[in-house]
Amino acid sequence: MEVLNWNGEDLPDELRKLPAGRYEIRPVDAVAPFSSDQDAGLQQGLRELDAGQGVTQDEVVARWRDRLRR
C-alpha cells in the first residue's frame, strides 16, 4: 500500500507512475479506529518495550517460522 498526499487539484506523481488498471483509493482518515481491546494491547506492548522486555526482529521472525512449520 502506498500513501500519497493530494492537494485536491493536481494529479499526484504517485498516480501517474501506476500502470493502467483499476485501483481502490480511500482517505486515510476513513480507517476504522482501534477497538478498546486493540488499544489496550498496543498500550501494554509499548509499556513492555519501554521496560526493556522487547525482542529483536530476528527473534520474532524465528518464532513465526517455527509456528508456521507446526
**Domain total in the chain:** 1
Q: What's the confidence (pLDDT) of residue 2?
A: 75
Q: Which stretches in the chain have pLDDT values below 70? A: 30
Are 42 and 34 within 8 A, CB to CB? yes
d(CA 60, CA 67): 11
Residue 51 lies in a domain: no
Residue 61 lies in a domain: no
Q: What's the confidence (pLDDT) of residue 6?
A: 87
Predicted TM-score of the model (pTM): 0.44
Helix (H) or strand (E) run with residue 49 in it: helix 36-50
The whole domain housing 4 covers 1-38
